[in-house]
Amino acid sequence: MEDQDIINEFLIESNENLTRLEQEIVELERSPRDPALLASIFRTIHTIKGTCGFLAFTALESVAHIGENILSQLRNGERQLTPQLTSLILETMDVIKKELASIEATSKESGEAYEDLRRRLTLTFDEVQGGVKGTPGAQGQDAPRQADVEPAAPVAAAPEPEAPPQDAPPPEAFTKVEPEEAAASPQAAAAKGGSIVDSTIRVDVALLDKLMNLVGELVLARNQILQFNSRQEDATLNGTAQRLNLITTQLQEGVMKTRMQPIGVVWNKLPRVVRDLAASCGKQIQLEMDGAETELDKSIIEAIKDPLTHIVRNCCDHGIEPPATRAKNGKPAQGRLLLRAYHEGGQVNIEIIDDGGGISVSRVKQKAVEKGLLRPEQAERLTEREAANLVFLPGFSTAEKVTSISGRGVGMDVVKTNIEKIGGVVDLTSRAGEGTTVKIKIPLTLAIIPGLVVNSGGERFIIPQVSLLELLRLEGEAGKKQIERIHGTPVYRRRGSLLPIAYLNEVLQLPAANSDSDVVNIVVLQAEDRQFGLVVDAINDTQEIVVKPLGKQLKGLTSYAGATIMGDGKVALILDVLGIGQLSGVVSESHTQGRADTGKNEMSHQDHQTFLLFRAGKFERLAVPLSLVARLEEFPQARIERAGGKAVVQYRDQILQLSLLSSMLQDGETAVENVSDPAQVIVFSDGKHMAGLVVDQILDIHDESIRIGKKSERKGLSGSAVIGGKVTDFLDLPAVLQATDEAWSTESSSQPQSRSTVLVADNRSFSRGLVRNYLELAGHPVLEAVDQPDALAKLDRNEVGAVVISRNLPSGGAKRLVEQMRTRPGLTHIPVVALCDSSEELGAPDSSHFDACVERFDRNGLLQSLNQLAAALQAHELQGSPELMGVRR
Amino acid sequence: MNNVTTHEAAKPDIGKATDSNRQYSTFYIGDLFFGIEVLKVQEVLRYLEMTCVPLAPGVIEGLINLRGQIVTAVDMRRRLGFSKRADGENPMNMVVRSDEGAVSLLVDEIGDVLDVTAGDYESAPDNMPKEQREMIEGVYKLDGRLLLVLNTERVLQTQPLN
């Protein structure tokens, strides 16, 4: 019997050859006459057949032989490739694979004779054979080359004439035999070797793993030496240690590179998969691959093989529609599946994009609720993206029937788990009717990572740097106060958004540090797409650490990702950021999140406002908040008429009065008619009244955060600020409107007005001024306060009817003010309206502290709220009820 | 050490290569005397400082650094239902091989390597506490004492964590 080594060699090579053959066959379907492809395919199967015979795997050899004959017909142009033929060839290859597996397991063939396949192959072969110039040879061997050297009868399991060289032939013997057989193909030798280029060498993966381990150990030892070295004064030692450091780093990089393989290695199996699936589903799918040369560590490649295949299968099975459906929707009958891979920011991005039907968000939500994975009201609150990602929940599948391919509902969640196991993230976006994109992000390296060393509860832990966003340090009493509690959860206000806070020692059930320390250290972490802060006792330095897996007994602990050995020889645990987040409850497992947590990747649009920029008279750059603008219109001069001495125009069943802004802002009368034709008009409306301001030119619309606001003493202007990089004057709109028409000065509401004093608390003078304007226009006397203590002081000293407060006062001032007001007898009844920066904040749970929430520049909303609250207050007072404010929760 | 009906004292047959001779590494927990097949034992060490693993099952005492390898240490006293070790008493490490690599068993004291004969082998006595009996494969009756053969696989199976 043969040497096991030779058989192993044979198995490796044959498997490689088969994989390549599969790819080539599928490619051949697309370009059936490509001679290079045909030649390559023929060579490959010829090689397989030859070595099979050499090793006395006769059944295998005979199957391969007939296959080869058919391929030869193809190559000679004696027949054309049809889908049926392709399927037959692929089936033959499957059989060969099966036999190879059997040989691998038992060193023998399986013993099956594959009669049916052989019969079909022979029949297929004979179809064409009959019509061709007859070649001698009972078994229809057509290529003269073959006749020379064909040693065995293809069908019968006769003893091989090649038996003699069998006694332990070295692998080189294959190369010697081949050139004799295939006289005209010297490349056969090279094809046998699998890769053409001599400058590569085949290395056992186990050996590479071993090297990687050793390098890991070296890194640890280097860390220890460096630590020891830092305490030594000897110059030679220092120098040598540094050199060791340098060499180790380079060695580490080099060894990691050896383990890198192009992702094409995984992708090259997919053309066949897609083809088979498409055929069995009756769909047409074209597979494109972009970035197959992107390199990944071998262990990562192993880990993503199955997930990728599953995602691709899903696309074919569920994503891409049948040609008829596609045609009906105006899409090309052939669906497109694009695989893309590229490096970005220390990670590998893999995208699977299809132009199929997309994911029906409503169906997904429905299924989730049906399966009890979600409550109906939770499903309501999901964004489109969150809903699409529901498919990753265990037990989920919207497939109406379970096919052998997919639909069992176990696929996508396993995909997600496997990807997360290697530290990656997967995300799904979909556009109904247009297609779906699955994006996977994986870190480049697994084994050696930079980590931050922290202390908690007397123990030392490592946090992987890849999850680390920021370090925060809160000092003193004021610092401690910055951690507020919302619904019992500690949170910290970080640049306008709320960051949930967890205490590491609590999560791990360790003793708390002695609290005489004045400092709170927070590590801001990212887990998937959520962020949270972790309070630790101390933060040390960053180190490169070798990740070692934990033993089986500890693998189930979600809080740890592994362990490492530190420079002082002691073991330290590496935290699993997502696990810690889940354990502490700050990162919920469910897919619905309270809107209070805006720790997503959206930038906090705290200060952003949309402004309309325009030019009027000598004011080159004027701005007004877009939210106040009703419409922008152009009126040809011909339409402008005169009534009551003022310029008017017939507009939407009303008479719109036009005023020339420039003449209002600067003295000197200019007639509206003398401005441009057509006249540029900004129309303002408060529901009852409309006014048109004629300007010289509408410039732009800017979404901007106000950085510098300066008040202005000029009439008609409320101040100036920088917008779009240029200093811009802001229109004092209420004043201007009032000047155009007295009617603006009274409120549109018919309810009795409360002209009580309103306190406006806002740290930003600019927006404070603007709000003041609205209120004064409406007849309210206004007091201003810059922050919460100031507001409180003014409340104490003055009779105030209502408080308008900016929700985002620093240090949680808004909430604090409300709390303080509630505790003071004279102030409890005063309604508080909060100004919010975005519509999302309006609905946030902690908005319930306030009596009402309106958007910052929503003048109407603000005035209406104040009126409603005042009316309610009056009503309650009349009833004598101490309980106030129906809106207060 | 319960009622042992002593058969003829089985003297360890050193040098006589019968196929039923075995060698065991032995150790003490409390006053119980245990043995593990010598081939399963990688090494025996004095006490090593351990890193504790918060939230781990109680039997896991911690992790040790064994020449660069991170080895889980299982406290045998806890595993067998014994009381906690007294303060100041440090356990010894008996590092055993398992499917997933080395695991260290923390024991009170290390004993000698003993040869035993198959003839002295019996299954565990019924009057042993259940907890301990589960961890034992069988016993060898030696001179005046019982050698309890530890079922290493069972010992290393810790409860699944919730």
The predicted-structure confidence for A8-50, as pLDDT tens digits, reads as follows 888 888 888 888 888 888 888 888 778 888 888 888 888 888 8
* B91 pLDDT tier (thresholds 50, 70, 90): very high
Q: Do B103 and A565 touch (CB under 8 A)?
A: no
Q: Spell A48-62 as b/e; 16+ CB within 10 A means b.
A: bbbbbbbbbbbbbbb
Nearest CA in chain B to A559: B55
Mean pLDDT on A521-527 = 89
pLDDT at A798 over 50: yes
CA-angle at A176, arms to A174 and A178, nearest 5°:
70
In terms of Cβ atoms closer than 10 Å to its own Cβ (0-12, 13-18, 19+), residue A871 is middle
Residue with tokens 């390296």: A445
Q: Do B56 and A554 touch (CB under 8 A)?
A: yes
Min Cα distance A571 → chain B (Å) is: 6
Mean pLDDT on A556-585 = 86
pLDDT at B95 over 90: yes
Half-sphere exposure of A468 (CA within 13 A, CB side): 18
Percent of chain A at pLDDT > 70 equals 78
Q: Do A508 and B63 touch (CB under 8 A)?
A: no
Q: Do A571 and B60 touch (CB under 8 A)?
A: no
- In A175-294, beta strands by DSSP E: 260-262, 285-290
Question: What residues of chain A, 299 to 358, have a C-beta less than 8 Å from chain B?
Answer: none
Q: Identify whether the C-beta of residue A865 lies closer than 8 Å to the C-beta of residue A855.
A: no
DSSP code of residue A174: H
B15: left (phi over 0), alpha (psi -120 to 50) or beta: left
DSSP code of residue A883: S
A524 touches chain B (CB under 8 A): no
Q: For B11-27, what is each residue's pLDDT tens digit?
A: 444 444 445 678 999 99
Say which residue, A6 or A238, is predicted with more confidence: A238
pLDDT at A149 over 70: no
Lowest mean pLDDT among A177-186, A465-474, A678-687, A763-772: A177-186
Q: Identify whether the C-beta of residue A569 lies closer than 8 Å to the C-beta of residue A585.
A: no
* A397 pLDDT tier (thresholds 50, 70, 90): low
**Residues near B70 by beta carbon (within 8 Å), at least 6 away in sequence:** A548, A550, A551, A563, A564, A565, A571, B63, B64
| Beta pairing partners, A833 | A804, A852
A219 touches chain B (CB under 8 A): no
Q: What is the pLDDT of residue B2?
A: 46
A508 touches chain B (CB under 8 A): yes
pLDDT at A174 over 80: no
Q: For A284-308, what is each residue's pLDDT tens digit?
A: 888 899 988 888 888 788 888 888 8
Percent of chain B at pLDDT > 90 equals 35
Q: What is the pLDDT of residue A193?
A: 43
Rounded CA-CA distance A498/A505 in Å is 22
pLDDT at A615 over 80: yes
| H or E stretch covering A23 | helix A4-30
Min Cα distance B66 → chain A (Å) is: 10
Nearest CA in chain A to B63: A571
Q: For B127-146, what is each residue's pLDDT tens digit?
A: 877 777 888 888 888 888 88
Q: What is the pLDDT of residue A407?
A: 47
pLDDT at A383 over 90: no
Q: Identify whether the C-beta of residue A41 lies closer than 8 Å to the C-beta of residue A28.
A: yes
Q: What is the pLDDT of residue A634?
A: 86
* A112 pLDDT tier (thresholds 50, 70, 90): confident
Q: What is the pLDDT of residue A444?
A: 63
Residue with tokens 């010297």: A186
Using DSSP, state whether A322 is helix, strand or coil: coil
Mean pLDDT on A79-106 = 83
Q: What is the pLDDT of residue A752?
A: 38
pTM here is 0.46
Residues of B in contact with A571 (CB under 8 A): 50-51, 62-65, 70
Mean pLDDT on A229-240 = 87
Lowest mean pLDDT among A332-341, A443-452, B10-19: B10-19
Rounded CA-CA distance A625/B118 in Å is 94
Q: What is the pLDDT of residue A702?
A: 79
Nearest to A768 by CA among A739, A741, A743, A794: A794
Note the residue count of chain A.
Answer: 889
Cα–Cα distances in angstroms (integers) from residue A394 to residues A197, A368, A412, A589, in the given order: 46, 10, 8, 12
Q: What is the pLDDT of residue A706?
A: 58
pLDDT at A777 over 70: no
Say which residue, A432 or A175, is predicted with more confidence: A432
Residue with tokens 């002691």: A570
Half-sphere exposure of B117 (CA within 13 A, CB side): 16
Q: Which amino acid is at A726?
A: K
DSSP A324-339: HHHHHTT--SSEEEEE
C-alpha A60 chain-centroid distance: 47
pLDDT at A824 over 50: yes
B128 touches chain A (CB under 8 A): no
pLDDT at A691 over 60: yes
Cα–Cα distances in angstroms (integers) from residue B30 to residues B76, B123, B128, in the given order: 10, 21, 15
DSSP A351-366: EEEE-S----HHHHHH
Cα–Cα distances in angstroms (integers) from residue A635 to residues A258, A339, A674, in the given order: 72, 53, 13
Mean pLDDT on A472-492 = 81
Nearest CA in chain B to A218: B68
Q: What is the pLDDT of residue A803?
A: 87
Min Cα distance B127 → chain A (Å) is: 30
Using DSSP, state whether B2 is helix, strand or coil: coil
CA-angle at A368, arms to A364 and A370, nearest 5°:
115
Using DSSP, state whether B114 is helix, strand or coil: strand
In terms of Cβ atoms closer than 10 Å to its own Cβ (0-12, 13-18, 19+), residue A268 is middle
Residues of A in contact with B50 (CB under 8 A): 571
Percent of chain B at pLDDT > 70 equals 84
Nearest CA in chain B to A224: B68
A687: left (phi over 0), alpha (psi -120 to 50) or beta: left
Cross-chain CB nearest to A571 (options B64, B103, B158): B64
Both tokens assigned to A884: 């106030």
Q: Identify whether the C-beta of residue B76 lies closer than 8 Å to the C-beta of residue B135.
A: no
Percent of chain A at pLDDT > 90 equals 6
State the complex-level ipTM: 0.83
Nearest CA in chain A to B52: A459
| H or E stretch covering A562 | strand A560-565
DSSP A600-650: SSSPP-TTEEEEEEEEETTEEEEEEEGGGEEEEEEE-GGG-EEETTEEEEE
Rounded CA-CA distance A43/A72 in Å is 10
B135 touches chain A (CB under 8 A): no
Nearest to A532 by CA among A483, A492, A481: A492
**Residues near A669 by beta carbon (within 8 Å), at least 6 away in sequence:** A663
Nearest CA in chain A to B62: A571
Both tokens assigned to A273: 């998969």
Lowest mean pLDDT among A341-350, A692-701, A835-844, B85-94: A835-844
Residues of A in contact with B62 (CB under 8 A): 571
Say which residue, A165 or A227, is predicted with more confidence: A227
| Beta pairing partners, A288 | A338
Nearest CA in chain A to B155: A553
Q: Do A553 and B64 touch (CB under 8 A)?
A: no
Question: What residues of chain A, 532 to 561, have a C-beta less than 8 Å from chain B?
Answer: 548, 550-554, 556-557, 559-560
